[in-house]
Amino acid sequence: MRTLAFTISREQSGKTVKEVLRREMGLSSHQLARLKRRPDGILLNGAPAFVTRSVEAGDVLQIEIGDPPAQAIAPLNIPLHVAYEDEDLLILDKSAGMAVHASSLTPDTPTVAGALAARWGEGFIFHPVNRLDKGTTGLMAVAKSGYIHDRLRRQLHSGEFYREYLAVARGHLKPPCGRIDLPIGRDESSAIRRCIRPDGDHAATVYETVRRTGRYSLVRLLPETGRTHQLRLHLASVGHPLEGDWLYGEGDSPLIGRPALHSHVLYLRHPITGEALRFTAPLPPDMESLLLI
């Protein structure tokens, strides 16, 4: 079980265990309640402690941040491209055709969850920090505990957790750089489709044209929000759908078997060490081939 130890400073002397866990270590009320139910969930100087107990400078407060046993996820023996891994975090370069979660609509689709069940054992709890559509390639982060997941989710859409995508869009965007700010909601005629609607959730995307060919634009996309299908729908809404986007474009493409979208850059601050981590994944060959046209 993964544990974290925290030494009480002179400035923190006199605070309660609960205050230190909530304010200094960033635990949510749900996580704190779960730790209180574990025999060794919260230790002060090696002994179980009530959260109302006061601490003194030099005391060592220790908590368990590993997950309890969970319902098994069926393991799948499929390869994963791991860009980074430590005891708290994994950065994955996802391939096309791999869903993040299993779906009753497509039960035979390989999943990141199943591949990680084979890698880590069936009892783990799956904590994807940012999700990618089945057809989207590139970088995504997976936390190894609920505590790490919560800390990283708080970073999302801030300067502490930064994502950059590359897309091959039809035509040439005018202006070549800008910001798309259009609300997104469910399309009531479809189980999966989203649409631009005035009563939808706020959604904003910054874009920049990187390269133009005769038919396409390679576009850098920076999502300011994380709505379902946001990047695909925003580009389609301004008349430049992704090549291969059967849902928001012009149907299936003979040139690429998926929406041409790639998670290119992922930057985050490690929730335990505070280290700034930056990863890049090169454009996959199927998208590169489009830019030769």
Is the same domain home to 93 and 60? no
Q: Provide the residue range defining the domain that includes 168.
A: 82-290
Overall number of domains in the chain: 2
Q: Nearest-CA neighbor of 244 among 235, 254, 253?
A: 253
Q: How confident is the model at residue 109 (pLDDT cuts 50, 70, 90)?
A: confident
Q: Does the pLDDT of residue 108 top 90, yes or no? A: no
Q: Which residues contact 238 (CB under 8 A, 6 or more apart)?
A: 173, 180
- Identify whether 59 is a catalytic site residue: no
Q: Does the pLDDT of residue 78 top 70, yes or no? A: yes
Is the same domain home to 117 and 30? no
Can you tell me the mean pLDDT for 203-207?
98
Is residue 69 a part of any domain in this protein?
A: no
Amino acid at 150: D
Q: Name the least confident of 26-40, 138-152, 176-190, 202-216.
A: 26-40
Is the same domain home to 145 and 211? yes
Q: Give this prediction's pTM.
A: 0.82
Q: Return the pLDDT at 257.
A: 94
The answer to whether the beta carbons of residues 205 and 222 sit under 8 Å apart is yes
- Measured in degrees and rounded to the nearest 5, phi and psi for residue 34 equal -70, -40
Q: pLDDT tens digits, residue range 26-74?
A: 888 888 888 888 888 899 999 999 999 999 999 999 998 877 666 668 8
The answer to whether the beta carbons of residues 92 and 139 sit under 8 Å apart is yes
Q: For the domain that residue 284 is a member of, what is the CATH number?
A: 3.30.2350.10
Is the same domain home to 87 and 187? yes
Is residue 70 a part of any domain in this protein?
A: no
Q: Nearest-CA neighbor of 165 among 131, 203, 207, 112?
A: 207
Is the same domain home to 154 and 229? yes
Q: For the domain that residue 32 is a member of, what is the CATH number?
A: 3.10.290.10
From residue 9, alpha-carbon distances to 12, 117, 151, 238 in Å are 5, 39, 22, 54
Q: Return the pLDDT at 4.
A: 86
Is the same domain home to 101 and 53? no
Is the same domain home to 91 and 58? no
Is residue 195 a part of any domain in this protein?
A: yes
Can you tell me the mean pLDDT for 12-30?
87
119-128: long-range pairs with CB below 8 Å, 24+: 119/80, 122/72, 122/73, 122/74, 122/75, 123/69, 123/70, 123/72, 124/67, 124/70, 124/73, 125/67, 125/70, 126/73, 126/101, 128/100, 128/101
Q: How far apart are CA 191 and CA 106, in angstroms?
A: 13
Q: Return the pLDDT at 59.
A: 94
Is residue 245 a part of any domain in this protein?
A: yes
Q: Return the pLDDT at 106.
A: 63
Is the same domain home to 118 and 196? yes
**Beta bridge pairs of residue 276:** 269
Amino acid at 116: L
Is the same domain home to 151 and 236? yes
Is residue 72 a part of any domain in this protein?
A: no
Is the same domain home to 116 and 59? no
Is the same domain home to 95 and 180? yes
Is residue 75 a part of any domain in this protein?
A: no
Q: Return the pLDDT at 291.
A: 95
Among residues 67, 88, 93, 133, which one is catalytic? 133
Q: Does the pLDDT of residue 191 top 70, yes or no? A: yes
Is residue 32 a part of any domain in this protein?
A: yes
Is residue 74 a part of any domain in this protein?
A: no
Is the same domain home to 178 and 143? yes
Q: How confident is the model at residue 282 (pLDDT cuts 50, 70, 90)?
A: very high
**Cβ neighbours of 185 (radius 10 Å):** 15
Question: Which of 16, 38, 64 represents a domain boundary (last residue)?
Answer: 64
